[in-house]
Chains A and B, each alone.
Chain A
Amino acid sequence: MTDKLLLEQIQPGSRVLDLGCGDGRLLARLREERGASVLGIEIDITQHHAAIARGVPVIQADLDEGLQDIPDGSFDYVVLSQTLQQVLQPKQLLEEMVRVAKRALVVVPNFGNWRIRLQVLKQGRAPVTEVLPYEWYNTPNLHLMSMHDFQDLMRLLGIEILQEIPIINHRAVERAWLANLRAQHVLYVLQRQSDPYPVSESENNAESELESPRPGSR
């Protein structure tokens, strides 16, 4: 379900990086159906080899150690599906994502969902649901957030939310009523705000001015 949704977001012929790519299933589809040029990052060695067996190029690395081996802007899209809540430093990883790619696609579970709220309210215990099927002591989920929380963080980081697609009962709903209450997952399409590294006048050399004249300069 999520794979299909992600696939639809990606322009044909793009260069795509998938963080926590598993056995490379999504990337293999992207390559075949979208003609994408792909790269995966995966920490698990068995999954790493499985991706190689699909012919998907894959780097074994720990997302908690960042993306320092990926040069700036080397991808069109970077995908992080169902993993943000499991990393140690989600803020840093999101910043890294918009550094290495023009667009970031992030799928996260929504902790604002009513079932979770109701469980906490009624039972007074850490919630266990279809989306969060773990007990508190064995969950890989370290950082849970609601849609509002995620939006706040994006404002803080200066990352623009191009699209916010709530997923309710396995269906993507473009405009959902009471989304933060109803969505189990959310797909975010993110991009760095237009001018993340403002260039000061003195650094701005003549060559780059020639290449991209400012509005009204002619």
Chain B
Amino acid sequence: MATQQETAEARQHSGVGFVQTQLATLFVPPHWLKLAGGGELGPIQVAYETYGELTPAKDNAIFICHALTGDAHAAGYYEDDDEKAKPGWWDDLIGPGRTLDTDKYFVICANVLGGCQGTTGPGSINPETNQQYRLNFPFITVGDIVEVHSALTRHLGIDQLLAVIGGSLGGMQVLEWAARFPDQLRSAICLASAAQLSAQGIAFNAVGRRAIKTDPEYKDGEYETGAGPRYGLALARMIAHITYLSDQSIEMKFGRRLQDHDTFTYEMLPEVEFQVESYLHYQGKRFVERFDANSYLYLTRAMDYFDLESQYGSLTNALGKTDARFLIASYDSDWLFTTTQSKEILRALIECGKHVSFIELKSPFGHDSFLIEIEQLQNMITPFLEQAYQSRLMESAQKT
């Protein structure tokens, strides 16, 4: 068995090694962030991590947009992680020689506005009142989230990103970025996402929010830090988690296997009879330890509201202004963000004559595939980024 020191050393030398979350303070009044829903917000603290080095020409930066409950910790380990801690959520993809090659690229990932992992959100202290914002936090949209991340990249001295990448809610941010800041990105990779959330997606979010709000500990959002609607939030996560899986992946992983007995117990009180139940309870419990209920409400609403078409008049209006190269991918077993939705984006991009590649990837893992099927992403994203980067170099060579 590896000693603690051996584990630490192995971690330091694998992938990007030890990383630290950094903080930036942006939109310091009077330079408030003007919000889509009205009102202003500032100052805004942004938690972010970077991996690799920015070139002197500042032309190798890749921004990763995380999904609903993700965070800035996309790769590597924290030095004080215990032995069981997992690395960042996309670690397999980021590091020297990996798809987002940190010997070549400068990779940035930041927690979203309204989140609860270091970026200003409903759990943050409102400097005007010295109280947590809670439900006094203003309404935010995907556009507001992107506005903050765009400001962060400028704060880091970057005018144009080599790529913006994201899956699910992260993919929505990618599309919004292309629409809102068409000159700021050279390429866009949108995985398992859509230009608008489906009615089914809104429905599931609604059930999740109801679970949170009806928990007696929710107290209209005025719960104390550390307390809060644990059961409601866990329930919201259990429901959402089912939508991230596929029929086939649940079947493969658990089937109808029982958890603690060989036969049914014929008792109603214990909640866990089947393995799949135990798994969902575990997912719910773990989620409560790391996520804030109010953040969940705000971010799911931002997701519900996202609709590129109604916001910009049409998808071609939204995506027609950028010269970025697009890579769009969906998964055949994803029923939350379907291939049909990805193809709507594809059609619009073809219609306005953009450089767009598309693929429906085969995977049994449903919506979660973009977090799991690393090899598929690697085969597709590595050459795509390489080409985007080469075209950048060729252009600058032509200019000089």
Q: Interface residues of B, CB < 8 Å — how many? A: 22
B-contact bits for A29-71, CB 8 A (1 contact / 0 none): 0000000010100000100110111110111110000000111
Told that A57-B325, A69-B346 touch, could you supply 13 new A-B pairs with CB distance under 8 A? A45-B359, A48-B357, A49-B383, A52-B380, A52-B384, A52-B387, A53-B383, A55-B387, A59-B346, A59-B356, A59-B359, A69-B343, A70-B350
| Interface band, chain A | 20 to 34
Quote the shortest CB–CB distance from B16 to chain A (angstroms).
25
Q: Choose one: A45, A48, A74; the contact of B350 (CB below 8 Å).
A: A74
Taking the closest CB of chain A, its distance from the CB of B186, in whole angstroms, is: 12
Inter-chain contacts of B380 with A (CB < 8 A): 49, 52
- Chain B residues with CB under 8 Å of A39's CB are 350, 356
Mask of B373-400 contacts with A, CB within 8 angstroms, 1/0: 0000001100110110011000000000
A15 touches B (CB below 8 Å): yes
What B residues does A48 contact at CB under 8 A?
357, 359
| Contacts between the two chains (Cβ within 8 Å), count | 51
- The answer, among B325, B347, B359, B387, for a CB contact under 8 Å with A60, is B359
Chain B contact residues, CB within 8 Å of chain A: 325, 327, 343, 346-347, 350-351, 353, 355-360, 379-380, 383-384, 386-387, 390-391
Contact status A52-B357, CB under 8 Å:
yes
Q: Which residues of A contact B390 (CB under 8 A)?
A: 55
Q: Is the CB of B383 within 8 A of A60?
A: no
Distance, CA A70 to CA B347, complexed state (A): 6
- Top 7 A-B pairs, shortest CB-CB distance: A53-B383, A55-B387, A60-B359, A59-B358, A52-B383, A57-B355, A71-B351
Q: Which residue of B lies closest to A58 (CB)?
A: B357
Q: Cβ of B353 and Cβ of A15 under 8 Å apart? A: yes
A181–B325 Cα distance when bound, in Å, is: 47
Please measure, in the bound complex, the distance between the C-alpha atom of A87 and the C-alpha atom of B304, giving whole angstroms: 41
Residues 183-213 of A at the B interface (beta carbon under 8 Å): none
A207: min CB distance to chain B, Å: 20
Q: Please determine whether B358 and A53 come into contact, CB atoms closer than 8 angstroms.
A: no
Contact check, A69 vs B387: say whether CB atoms are below 8 A apart. Answer: no
- Name the B residues within 8 Å of A57 (CB-CB): 325, 355-357
Given contacts A52-B380, A69-B343, A71-B347, A59 and B387 within 8 Å (CB-CB): no
Contact of A53 with B353 at beta-carbon distance under 8 Å, contacts A45-B359, A59-B346 already known: no
- On chain A, the residues within 8 Å of B386 by CB distance are 53
In the complex, chain A residues whose CB is within 8 Å of the CB of B355: 57
- Shortest Cβ distance from B387 into chain A, in angstroms? 4
Closest Cβ–Cβ distance, residue B98 to chain A (whole Å): 17
Contact of A49 among B346, B351, B379 (CB under 8 A): B379
CA distance A71 to B347 in the complex (A): 7
Chain B contacts for A61, CB-based, 8 A: 358
- In the complex, the answer to whether B360 meets A69 with C-beta atoms within 8 Å is no
Ordered by A's residue number, 21 sampled pairs between the chains whose C-beta atoms are within 8 Å are A49-B380, A49-B383, A51-B357, A52-B357, A53-B386, A55-B387, A55-B391, A57-B355, A57-B356, A58-B357, A59-B357, A60-B360, A69-B346, A69-B347, A69-B350, A70-B350, A71-B347, A71-B350, A71-B351, A74-B351, A74-B353
List of A residues within 8 angstroms of B327 by Cβ: 52
Complex Cα–Cα for A60 and B391 (A): 23
- Nearest chain A CB to B235 CB, angstrom units: 38
In the bound assembly, the distance between CA atoms of A74 and B379 in angstroms comes to 29
Give chain B nearest CB distance to A72 CB in angstroms: 10
Shortest beta-carbon distance from B154 to chain A in Å: 28
- Please, how many angstroms separate the alpha-carbon atoms of A28 and B350 in the complex? 18
Please name all residues of chain B whose beta carbon is closer than 8 Å to the beta carbon of A53 when the two chains form the complex.
Answer: 383, 386-387
Give the docked Cα–Cα distance between A54 and B391 (Å).
11
* Alpha-carbon separation in the docked complex, A37 to B379 (Å): 24
CA distance A179 to B379 in the complex (A): 45
In the complex, A71→B314 CA distance in Å? Answer: 15
CB B99 to nearest CB in A, in angstroms, measures 13
Which of B327, B350, B380, B384 has the most CB atoms of chain A within a 10 A radius of its CB? B350
A153 to B33, CA, bound (A): 63
Q: Min CB distance, A158 to chain B, in Å?
A: 26
Give A90 to B345 CA distance when docked, in angstroms: 28
Are the CB atoms of A60 and B379 closer together than 8 Å?
no
Q: Which residues of A contact B379 (CB under 8 A)?
A: 49
CA distance A71 to B386 in the complex (A): 29
B-chain residues with CB within 8 Å of residue A49 when the two chains form the complex: 379-380, 383
